[in-house]
Structure 1
């Protein structure tokens, strides 16, 4: 399974016109099939006057046994809408995203080739303006500072971020606790923490998780 992949950090939309037919693509970041289908339903409800709401979505990192790809032609000739849309998402290497292309018919038949190009081009147009976000699989490491933690915390956080280490959370209680994410070996991060804190911090390895970077 890949340890990195790209998604989008927000929504993106684009619209093209082909022989008076309008094609509007809406890209939405989603984490589950249910969320993807909710996005499709929202487009169908918002643009109720359109003839077709074709869709494609990709969930999960490549190689993950739970990853999923789905597409729908929504009444267009088979293979002319959903599958080409899915190919654009694959080509852009985007995951955890749903594309919905809403079509308003302009009165001129486009033919199978014309439909494939139109649906593909509308998704490409949305991808071009979408805010791309990288995700990375990291191991969570909990770091609890010593008695002087409140004095060290600010400088330590700055040093960690400067080294490209993901600071997932900071808790200020009796002791200051950092939750960090490392794509490398947890032992290497523990050694860095020991150096930055003069050996006064305790580290504990937790689970692996995906984070935005």
Structure 2
């Protein structure tokens, strides 16, 4: 069911979604983006060259290393990391514009990216959600069922998963993805509640102040 989450006067929020590989984060993200028209996916910037068919501003913001490093130094990145010789990061400009328009922005990042976002200039607008598998054994089963990786790659992914999961306590919400529909329903509930917070509804606060003043005048 499609939701319309943008509303006059509502400030958007940064939704950080993290999980170990195989816990279902990508599936939940795709479902959320397809069913909730009040949230957009954060487009990253990168120094790697575009691949055939990719467009600047659609898949990535393509920047050369000098410009990317300038943006980091100027505080124009919410988070960034170097992966296999290329820089990746989340430019703050498009995120701030979306939030000012009342739209939420989804970040599919690891614990390090989430930590950087929470410590950034927009950290007060962020909520963080960590997705856990039902068990470490089930996570390994899911990775093996993919039939995409060699055994040594699966073993490496399991080591990485344990490191990622060791940071669960840094997040605002923890969801266990035992049943996808249930987990998605819980994710929706979190967003609904967070969107209704008084701090994110200055329009409601203004109306409450007016009504409070009217009541005082009557009494």
Specify the TM-score bucket, using the shorter chain as the normaliser: under 0.3
Larger Rg: 1
Of Structure 1 and Structure 2, which has the larger fraction of its residues in helix?
A: 2
Of Structure 1 and Structure 2, which has the larger fraction of its residues in strand?
A: 1
For normalisation by structure 1, the TM-score amounts to 0.24
For normalisation by structure 2, the TM-score amounts to 0.23
